[in-house]
Each structure stands twice: as C-alpha cells, then as structure tokens.
Amino acid sequence: MREVAFIKQNKEKWLEFEQGFQNKDKKSPDDIANLHIKIMNDLVYAQTYYPKSKVTVYLNKLAKSSFDHVYDSKRTNQNPFIYFFLDKVPLLCYQYRKYFYLSFIVFFVCFFVGLLSTFNDETFARQILGNNYVDITIENIESGDAMAIYKGGSNWGTFIGIYDNNQRVGLYMFLSGIFLGIGTAFYVVKNAIMVAVFQAFFYQYNSLFDSLKGIWIHGTYEIFGIIIEAAAGYIIGASILFPGTLKRFESFKKGIRDAFYIFISTIPFTIIAAFLEGYVTRYSNKMPTVFCFLIIGFSLVSISYYYLILPFKVARKHSLR
C-alpha cells in the first residue's frame, strides 16, 4: 500500500484516538485501549514499509505517550498484583513471543548437542558434571537409589540453597542480555548441555526412568523458567541492536523495563521449583509413580499455559491480534 493511501485509510482512527485520549470521559477505558492496540499495529506496519517517514515518527510518539495512560486507566478498578500477573505480563509475553520461541529453539539445539556429545564421548559427562558428582551418582545408582543425592541436608536448608542458586542463575540470564544477548546465550548453552548430559548419564546407567520421575518434579518449573529468563535477556540485547524508530538509549530503557517485568513473573515458579526440590523430590522413590507424573504434568501444563497460551487469550481480549 502506498503511504498516502495508508494515511488516508487510517487518519480518522488516529484522530479518534487523540480525541479519546484528550477527552477520556467520553470513552470507556476498554474502547481507548482497543484503539491504542490498533495504532500499535499501524505503527508496526509503518515501521516495516515506511521506516523513515514522518507518519512512523507520529505513530511512535502517539503510541508511546499513551501507553501508560491507557493501561493505568484499565487497571484502576483492578488489584495491581492481579493486573501485573494476569494482564500486563501476558501482554508483554505476546508482544515478545518471538524471543520466547528463539529461546526454546536455542535451548533444545544445545540440549541435543549435549546428548550427542555424551553418547559419543565417555569422558564428556565427567567434564561437564565433575568427577565427584559422577562417582557419587554411580554409587547411588548401584545401591538402588539414583536420587539419593537430593536427600542430603534438611528440607528447609535445601529449599533455601536451591532457591538462591536458581534465582542467581536466572538473574545472570536476564542481566547478561546487556552484552547484546551473547552473555545470555552463553548461559543457555551451558545449562542446556548440563541438563542433556545429566539425562544421558542416567540413561547410560539404566536409571533414566528413575531420573525422569524424580528430577522433573522440580525441573519442569526450573528449566522452563530458565528458558523464559533467557528470553528476557534476548529482549534486552535486541533493544540495543534493533532500536527501530526510537533512540538507542530509549529503546534500551524500554527493553530492560519490559524484560524485567517478564523476569519478575518467573520468580513464583522459581520458588515453587525450589520448594519441590527441597520437600518432594527426595521422596520420589517412595511416592507412587503416578503421583510423581501428576506433579510433573501439572507443572508443565500450568507454566506452558501461562507463558504460551494465556498471552494469546489476553491479546485477543485487548484486540491485539
């Protein structure tokens, strides 16, 4: 579409929004928000086909100046906590969904590299996991309790220690995005290969089933959370590399703010993962197998729904699609 036709086709909508913004008492917050979303779509179109045009600058300023006002008006009658987790974060997840897909792809590519390396090199597991860990785990497998390593220490102490470790890993994933996303990719490669080696090692010692029903009780939230935290790091890196019509520093500020909100949303899952590792995983060999897989299934469905399905539902509600 030619730029003149694009402007002619949409200018009434833009004026309608400006009037609605200036006279917010004449339109409901939902109506204003829906107009805002439509303008965001127009902005994306303009950035694609008319990147250096004045209309792109105009739409960018219009969308930027109105965003906080629009969503502040939508949450005036809503609990801020509920709004953040059930509205704001899902909308951000929808907006940045391509980075989530990228994060999953990078993680699983590295995961399969780790599997192949372990199966083709007998010393690879020791290089990644360390001799001490490998030797102890082999002893545990031979004694009939492959998950014995998770039974050391108190429930509470394990919970605190694991949460501290997992939260630091997630923070590294997030903050490393400032190195153009390369730092985040480094941590993804490291963790994905480690998970692959871990599973391949148990497979080689005929304990894969025991490891699956034990490790993934807490590992589902833990690993999924790491992938989401990595996506937040990629968002920061992309905000520096691809500022679009914004000044680079403005783009960076927006990117790190949005990525931080997404990172914050992973904290409850990290806490639950640490709790499960401290209080449940250690009893996996005594629990009914079906109960173990019910926990794993619920964890996978719940976190997948929150980050991969709910964003589309919330976006549809806000007419983002």
For 90-102, the pLDDT digits (tens) are 999 999 999 999 9
Per the model's pLDDT, the better-predicted residue between 204 and 47 turns out to be 204
The predicted structure's pLDDT at residue 12? 81
DSSP state of 285: T
The most confident of the ranges 39-53, 123-137, 148-162 is 123-137
For residues 293 and 300, what is the distance between their CA atoms, to the nearest angstrom?
10
For residues 51 and 43, what is the distance between their CA atoms, to the nearest angstrom?
10
Per the model's pLDDT, the better-predicted residue between 315 and 185 turns out to be 185
The predicted structure's pLDDT at residue 320? 45
Q: Chain-wide mean pLDDT for the chain? A: 86
Contact criterion met (CB below 8 Å) for 206 and 199: no
Burial 91-102 (b: 16+ CB within 10 A, else e): bbbbbbbebbeb
For 46-88, the pLDDT digits (tens) are 878 888 788 888 888 777 766 655 555 555 556 888 989 999 9
Contact criterion met (CB below 8 Å) for 77 and 160: no
